[in-house]
Structure 1
Amino acid sequence: MGKTYRIKDIAEMSGVSTGTVDRILHNRGKVSEEAQKKVEKVLKEIDYHPNLIARSLALKKNYHFITLIPSFAKGEYWDKLCEGIDKAEQEMFSYNVEVERMCFNQYDKGSFDELIPRIEKADCQGVVIATQFRESVVKLTSRLDQLQIPYVLIDAFIENTNCVAYYGTNSYDSGYIAGRLLYEQINPTENIAIFRFIRKGEMQVTQVMKREEGFRNYLTEKDYDGRIYSVQLHADEPEKNIQVLDAFLKEHPEVSAGIIFNSRAHLLGKYFQAKGEKFRLIGYDVIDSNITCLNNGNITHLIAQRPEVQGFNCIRALFRHLVLKEKVEQINYMPIDILIKENIKYYNNYI
């Protein structure tokens, strides 16, 4: 067990008064910038952490967090992210942290908007927001700012918000990398396809838009001279999707490479396998159905972003901000993991 440091010890090591240290540790009262830096330097050197259990029991305060994320089925991407949220909640149970899940339809902006009044009226101390619908998220975060409720963003970073933290990949760079992965499999004049799942109101999500921007920019920089076709699919109409894909391939038999910027690559992989088509497909996210397609050769690359780690860290960030009174880094980019058949078996999301 490490040494226990008293406020007096930290004050002597920092060269400031005990009162100054007390104000910094408990975030009350103003101190000079110089004193703040001196104390923070010492706290970092000694790896100082407050006695959380004593603080929690003394305050007898409950912390109610809300997570606003898309609804999901078991094994899907958001299920993986919730595994991280669950683990964080379990670890913080002793500190009176409770997490309430609110879910919306990721293919219907209206279902997100309907939850905003509920969150405004909820007695909560922090919110985690999946940023699918930019306009709606900005509306919600503006209201949370007014209510002085801290929030963490996941999925895609949205500028000009006062979020405590963001956890996720750099969506633009992720798409840029995807552009390189596909470009290296084709010739510069070969036609390709971008597959999209249509959302109600035909709105694209923030993350997908950024990924596609990066993807297209990479190809532009490489003087790609082929044509990019957009293939619109339907979120919950598998039979209609088969008709759409059949018609597209009949009209454009030369297209044998493409990308989808979300976790539904397995639906396309299974389609091409059933048709006996050799199609070079890039997708996102390490979920079981995508892994199967990767191993079968129906997906050439998966780009992953460690959703379990994101889920764990977003709850942890609110906890650190509210309970520990620690400063949290605002933008926390996850690694952009590139997975192929030969390395997928070694991949593990460590929390």
Structure 2
Amino acid sequence: MGKTYRIKDIAALSGVSTGTVDRILHNRGKVSEEARQKVEAVLKEIDYHPNLIARSLALKKQYHLFTLIPSYQPGEYWELFMQGVDKAEQELFSYNINVTSLYFNQFDKSNFDKLTDELLAADCQGVVIATLFKQGVLELIASLDEKNIPYVLVDAYIENTRSIAYYGTNSYDSGYIAGRLLLEQITDGEDIATFRFIRKGEANATQVQIRETGFRAYLSEHNYSGKIHSVQLHADNQEENFRVLDAFFEANPDLHSGIIFSSRAYILGEYFNKRKSNSLFKLIGYDVIEKNVTYLENGLITHLIAQRPEVQGFNSLKALFRHLVLQEQVPPINYMPIDVLIKENIKYYNNYI
């Protein structure tokens, strides 16, 4: 076991007073930059870590953190994200950290805005925010900045914010890769379809927009000459979706490839499965959730692009802990691997934290 360093030991090594060391360790009072540099150099050299559990218990300080993410049904993407959050909360229990989760309707911006009012009125020391509604997020974080409340962004990165960290994929590159995967499967000039889900307040989720931008960029750079059709679907109205899809494929009988930029590729898989048609359709989707994996394994989805939601949830909460309790600087942009999965390798995939 390494040596235990007391404040007076650090002061002696730094050549400053014990009072100066105390102010630096507890981030209170003013100290000169020269003194701070001396102390921080010693702390780094001795790999100093305070007894944070003892400190937090002694001070009885409570950290009330929030997550603001989409509501979900069992087996959906955001459930996996929350599994990571829950694991982090369990690990941090000794530090008096409690998490409250607020869930918004990801297809209705007004619901998101309503919950932001609730969040801003709460006793909140930090928040993890899913960035589906960019304008709503920008309005929220402007208020958080005024209150000096730290926040972590997940789902899609938003530039020029004061977030302490972002966890997620590079959405543009993710879409760019999807463009390559699809273009390599089709003949020159063959039409393709993009399937989107209707939302209230903002036409598309932030990440969906950025993914599609990257997707179209790849096609443009590689001289794609076909037509891209846009099909609007509902998240929870199968009957209406079947009507829309029947009409679309009747009007475009030679179209056999497409992409969904969200975790709901299974909706099209369900359609093909029940209609017993388009078995040769080449569909690319996102995220390793059970329903998507079913259609990847039976060939109705050709590729899934994954982004490890459990890891995102775990690391985003730990980032707030590191910032608030450890007073560490967290890397501002933390990109997840962009995992490309096919039916031949899906059984080997794991998402261990």
What TM-score does the superposition give when structure 1 sets the normalisation length?
Answer: 0.94
Q: Which residue number in structure 2 is paired with residue 289 of structure 1?
A: 291
TM-aligned CA distance change 1:194 to 1:11, over 3 Å: farther
Deviations 1:162-187, CA, capped at 9 Å, x for gaps = 11111111111111111111111112
On the 8 A contact 1:7/1:18 being kept in 2, the answer is no
* Superposed displacement of residue 221, structure 1: 0.5
* Superposed displacement of residue 152, structure 1: 1.0
Q: Which residue number in structure 1 is paired with residue 119 of structure 2?
A: 119
* Superposed displacement of residue 5, structure 1: 3.5
Q: Which residue number in structure 2 is paired with residue 252 of structure 1?
A: 252
Q: Which residues of structure 1 form unaligned runs of 5+?
A: none
On the 8 A contact 1:26/1:325 being kept in 2, the answer is no
On the 8 A contact 1:151/1:318 being kept in 2, the answer is yes
Q: Which residue number in structure 1 is paired with residue 217 of structure 2?
A: 217
* Superposed displacement of residue 236, structure 1: 1.7
User: What amino acid maps onto 1:276 in structure 2?
Assistant: S
SS class of match (2:193): strand
TM-aligned CA distance change 1:188 to 1:86, over 3 Å: same
Q: Which residue number in structure 2 is paired with residue 316 of structure 1?
A: 318
On the 8 A contact 2:113/2:136 being kept in 1, the answer is yes
Which piece of structure 1 moves more, 30-39 or 216-225? 30-39
Q: Which residue number in structure 1 is paired with residue 277 of structure 2?
A: 276
Which piece of structure 1 moves more, 18-27 or 219-228? 18-27
Q: Identity of counterpart residues, as a percentage? A: 68
Q: Which residues of structure 2 form unaligned runs of 5+?
A: none
On the 8 A contact 1:81/1:311 being kept in 2, the answer is yes
User: What amino acid maps onto 1:124 in structure 2?
Assistant: C
SS class of match (2:226): coil
User: What amino acid maps onto 1:347 in structure 2?
Assistant: Y
Name the CA distance, whole Å, in 2 between partners of 1:300 and 1:293: 9
Quote the RMSD (CA, aligned, Å): 1.9
Q: Which residue number in structure 2 is paired with residue 267 of structure 1?
A: 267
Name the CA distance, whole Å, in 2 between partners of 1:300 and 1:12: 64
* Superposed displacement of residue 216, structure 1: 0.3
* Superposed displacement of residue 201, structure 1: 3.9
Q: Which residue number in structure 2 is paired with residue 174 of structure 1?
A: 174
Deviations 1:59-107, CA, capped at 9 Å, x for gaps = 1111111111110011100000000111111111111111111111000
Q: Which residue number in structure 1 is paired with residue 308 of structure 2?
A: 306
Q: Which residue number in structure 2 is paired with residue 99 of structure 1?
A: 99
Name the CA distance, whole Å, in 2 between partners of 1:9 and 1:183: 64
On the 8 A contact 1:165/1:331 being kept in 2, the answer is yes
Deviations 1:127-157, CA, capped at 9 Å, x for gaps = 1111111111111100111111111111111
User: What amino acid maps onto 2:277 in structure 1?
Assistant: G
TM-aligned CA distance change 1:145 to 1:287, over 3 Å: same
SS class of match (1:231): strand
Q: Among 334, 337, 349, which residue is 1:335 paired with?
A: 337
User: What amino acid maps onto 2:339 in structure 1?
Assistant: D
* Superposed displacement of residue 270, structure 1: 2.3
Name the CA distance, whole Å, in 2 between partners of 1:269 and 1:40: 57
TM-aligned CA distance change 1:18 to 1:248, over 3 Å: farther
User: What amino acid maps onto 1:327 in structure 2?
Assistant: Q
Deviations 1:269-308, CA, capped at 9 Å, x for gaps = 2222332311111100111111111111111111111111
On the 8 A contact 1:171/1:210 being kept in 2, the answer is yes
Name the CA distance, whole Å, in 2 between partners of 1:283 and 1:189: 21
Name the CA distance, whole Å, in 2 between partners of 1:40 and 1:346: 45
Name the CA distance, whole Å, in 1 between partners of 2:303 and 2:78: 20
Aligned length: 350
TM-aligned CA distance change 1:46 to 1:308, over 3 Å: farther
Name the CA distance, whole Å, in 2 between partners of 1:150 and 1:262: 28
SS class of match (1:88): helix
TM-aligned CA distance change 1:38 to 1:225, over 3 Å: farther
